Structure 1
Amino acid sequence: MNLSNVEFMLLQLIAELDQASGYDINKLIDQRGYRQWANIGTTSVYAGLKKLNEKELVESEPVGEKSGKGPMPTRFAITESGKAALRNEILTSLSTSREREQRFDLGLAALPFIEENEAVEALRKRLDVLDEAAQTITRTFESQGGARLPIHARSLFRHPLNLIESERAFVLELIHELSEERK
């Protein structure tokens, strides 16, 4: 069964919380900084919960009474088939997925169409963006408890920081190579 990234994340959070409302899930997403790197909006959460319910990977149960104009409050719990799908998705993602920014790769492929000094300037700006991203992730990590976080939560911060560090090393090396070619 194919799960979108949002559905995959939602199954994880529902499994972790045992039962959760859309509100509970959105709060946890904000606390962990998922929106910064996973491109998950509030409406994506609710659409994802609906899809998971339709796929029978979660079951929903209305709770309390309706208040205001919003929908009836609903809590979601993971089903046995949801647990199996989650387990399969975890194993597949850990063993086969690979992160890559395709737009950057397209820019690299097009380097011959710009001057070396333009490329170096653009890559220096990329270093600034990478530094800013690392600082934001580090601040969020520290505000959530830093090293005291459970390993699964710590790894959500350490992984992108390590990727940024590797990307910085690559960009610095490329800047050096481009600068050498100009000489």
Structure 2
Amino acid sequence: MELTPAELTVLGLVVERPQHGYELEQVIEQRGIRQWTEIGFSSIYYLLAKLEKRGLMAAEHARGGAKSRRVFRATAEGRDAAARSARALIADTAPTPHPVLVGVANSPLLSEREYAAALGARLVHVDARISAVEAAERALGPVPKPASEVLSYSLSLMKAERSWLAERAQVSDDREDRPEEDARQLPGAAR
């Protein structure tokens, strides 16, 4: 039984601890999960219903809470399916489509100045994302190990991309605290 990344994310959060839909939304928002998977607010309830129908989770009404509030728990089958899917996704080395690669592959369509400016703009955005993830990590405090691993992996990828961009745009890696200054120094960058 294969799970989509969105299904596995929701099921994994319910395996972590039983919760209702609104709690899931809060965890997804707090951990920045939407930066690496597509789960809209309205799709949470759709995914919960779909996973419940497949027997991967069961719901019960919350005690002392709102009548409509149902707390979802993973079933044994759900835990097994989540573990299988997680194992497969971790081990899978299939290439992931990345739009920036399409742009870089077509960089001969740009002048050197335009290419450098585009790299500089991307560098500014990557620096902002790194800062946002680091701030979110500090604000979250202690998180379950899976969340910590996701943050660590995400930051590692962003920092590797930052290093690549800085090299191409001829910007020093030690200027991480002043990305807007880096962008101004690029040929063709807006001043």
TM range (shorter): 0.7 to 0.9
Residue 166 of structure 1 corresponds to 160
Per-residue Cα deviation, 1:88-139 (whole angstroms, up to 9, x for no partner): 0111111115674521111011111111110010000000000000000010
With over 3 angstroms needed to count, the CA separation of the structure-2 counterparts of 1:8 and 1:99, relative to structure 1, is farther
Task: Tell me if the contact between 1:65 and 1:73 (Cα under 8 Å) persists in the aligned partners.
Answer: no
Task: Tell me if the contact between 2:3 and 2:82 (Cα under 8 Å) persists in the aligned partners.
Answer: no
Residue 13 of structure 1 corresponds to 13
With over 3 angstroms needed to count, the CA separation of the structure-2 counterparts of 1:63 and 1:152, relative to structure 1, is closer
CA RMSD of aligned residues (A): 2.2
State the AA in 1 paired with 2:37: A
Structure with a larger share of its residues in helix: 1
Separation of aligned partners in 2, 1:101 and 1:128: 22
Separation of aligned partners in 1, 2:97 and 2:138: 26
Residue 52 of structure 2 corresponds to 53
Listed as ranges, the matches of 1:15-164 within 5 Å are 15-17=15-17, 19-63=18-62, 72-97=68-93, 100=96, 102-145=98-141, 148-164=142-158
Separation of aligned partners in 1, 2:116 and 2:50: 45
Separation of aligned partners in 2, 1:80 and 1:149: 24
Per the normalisation by structure 1, the TM-score is: 0.83
Structure 2 stretches of 5 or more lacking a match? 171-186
**Structure 1 consecutive aligned stretches of length 4 or more whose deviation exceeds 6 Å:** none
Q: Secondary structure at the match of 2:100?
A: helix
Task: Tell me if the contact between 2:10 and 2:48 (Cα under 8 Å) persists in the aligned partners.
Answer: yes
Separation of aligned partners in 1, 2:95 and 2:134: 20
How far 1:66 sits from its partner (Å)? 8.9
Paired residues, number: 171
Q: Secondary structure at the match of 2:59?
A: strand
State the AA in 2 paired with 1:122: A
State the AA in 2 paired with 1:39: E
Task: Tell me if the contact between 2:62 and 2:71 (Cα under 8 Å) persists in the aligned partners.
Answer: yes
